[in-house]
Structure 1
């Protein structure tokens, strides 16, 4: 079914026709003198096509009609589909600090940094969240809401894949991320508030201390599951050859365990992409809260198709005008001969 978001825009459809039929101002000027009327008579009977603006006006009219229709924002409503909400609201806080670029993970047997692994696992997790409302918080030096709580898991997944290291700064504001999560969940029922916090470091920035944020989250019945990401051993090249180091030495596991315990959540340690997948499978088993079914109709915007059509007919009108101009020019050249 077709619907118009701004149907009142159609009121301007007759505007060009009204302007066309308004009384025209008479232009005063010198007349054109034709030196030899026999040439004019001769050319009127020749094979040169007379000027016919019908095609040009038709293309312009169609171009105007499609343009106005596009501005009215038409959308096509698809068939209604039933969504069974679980009643669960999940906020995922994803660390985008500089340390997430450490390449101590693998994807398809190829080296990958921590953020690439996290996004891959999150993508599979979000796709399976039918009936949950999911939102994304990204944090670095500051915390930002990347996507509000929504049933539209496809868009949420796309926004996750668009995140990049350093978008929110190079440091790690864990307390601010928790605080923003509490704010976004404050109007939700107490048994539906879940925040999943994924980080690879310690709190090094922000105005809110993580422990204070966790205490407030517990008072607001927000359950926080924390995930510490990063391998515990990694080979690097040094001046004396290969050397084993701990790339997760900055990970504050004690803090993450305390946050989870204080809010009734769990702490998970992800040393590899395989661990991450297992963790999200565990989180996937959280008991949902039953809720009533809701019906949704997918919306497909037709704006860009109508816009392309308007431009196409405008181009045809210009082409028709050029053909008329060329014929007139050839006719005048023959007149000189």
Structure 2
């Protein structure tokens, strides 16, 4: 259907008629007078006057139509499409992913091959992002410092792409967990009426940053930000060296006590992901703990139609101007 965004502009339609009725006529003066010595010959041409009256009537009708089209274009005609349903949950969800050097340890198995921790995180977290229909999702990457890679958005595809493009060491070699939490608080506090969640994934301890993780957690609790923490890394790994093979614990630097405290202070939970299956299960559990709410909203797409009446009005105005010029040339 067609509607007008500013229908009140149609009140301007009688403006030319009012101007003609209320304003005094223009004083053309004697300079516009045409002295013709052959007036007697003109009087003997009665059809010429009739033709002029007909032409004048046509010009008035064309000018009125041009004015009508111009006012209609000003009123912004729009074509409304069919209603489209949108699902909005009202939740702001921020992902914070560790890009420190330890994330390159290849202690995860993905589709039958050994991969580093970041690659496994991308595969599982990407699927989680795709499932969060209706949530506004943001992405923080942290190492020596924390960086906002994607602000809160409904565009899950872009967030997924930015996560896939992240690389180990991009934000530095150390781990600034406190700064990542502080940045999440800053980006989420502008929406106090929404449910706000931070999912923080790391494989180590806080070794950098201006804010300690526990101080940041206290501030997050005051701001109503719930934090879910995920500690990644296997408990056991076989490595080869000069003396043969031996078993090591690649996650000995993981500060599970701090990660647990971060979650408990803010009403969240701490999870331990030793392999890809556990990591996938954690994200499935997060779907259960923070379900996507089905709040249905509708919007109708619209297409602006004002160029059409505006173009027709301009063409009529051009035609009237051309006719006036030609009439002056004949005269």
Range class of TM-score, shorter chain: 0.5 to 0.7
| Cα separation, 2, equivalents of 1:297 and 1:162 | 33
Structure 1: runs of 5+ lacking an equivalent? 1-76, 299-337
2:285 match? 282
Partner of 2:150: 147
Runs of 4+ in 1 over 2 A off after TM superposition: 77-82, 287-292, 294-298
Partner in structure 1 of residue 297 of structure 2:
293
1:268 to 262, 267, 271: 271
**1:99-119 deviation line (CA, Å, top 9, x unaligned):** 000000011110000000000
Q: Is residue 119 from structure 1 mapped to residue 139 from structure 2 by the alignment?
A: no
Q: Pick from 133, 138, 143: which aligns with 1:135?
A: 138
Task: Give the direction of change, closer, same or farther, for the CA distance of 1:114–1:80 in structure 2 (3 Å limit).
Answer: farther
The answer on whether the counterparts of 1:190 and 1:220 sit within 8 Å (CA) in structure 2 is no
Give the drift of 1:83: 1.7
Pick the aligned partner of 1:86 from 86, 89, 98: 89
* Structure 2 counterpart of 1:211: 214
Q: How do residues 48-197 of structure 1 correspond to structure 2 at under 5 angstroms?
A: 81-189=84-192, 192-197=195-200
Instruction: Give the length in aligned residue pairs.
Output: 223
| RMSD of aligned alpha carbons | 2.1
Q: SS of the counterpart of 1:158?
A: helix
**What do residues 199-254 of structure 1 show as CA deviations (whole Å, max 9, x unaligned)?**
00000000011000000000000000000000000000022211000000000000
Instruction: List gaps (5 residues or longer) in structure 2.
Output: 1-79, 303-331
Cα distance in structure 2, aligned partners of 1:137 and 1:223 = 16
Task: Kindly indicate whether the alpha-carbon contact (under 8 Å) linking 1:136 and 1:146 is maintained by their aligned counterparts in 2.
Answer: yes
Counterparts in 2 of 1:125 and 1:175: CA distance versus 1, 3 Å: same
How far the C-alpha of 1:289 sits from its partner, in A, is: 5.1
Cα pair 2:85 2:296 within 8 Å, conserved: no
TM-score of the pair, normalised by structure 2? 0.64
- What residue number does 1:61 align with? none
Instruction: Point out the more displaced range, 136-145 or 278-287.
Output: 278-287
Whether the 8 Å CA contact 1:143–1:168 is kept in 2: the answer is yes
Query: Greater CA radius of gyration, 1 or 2?
Result: 2
Residue aligned with 2:258, SS: helix
Residue 187 (structure 1) shift: 1.5
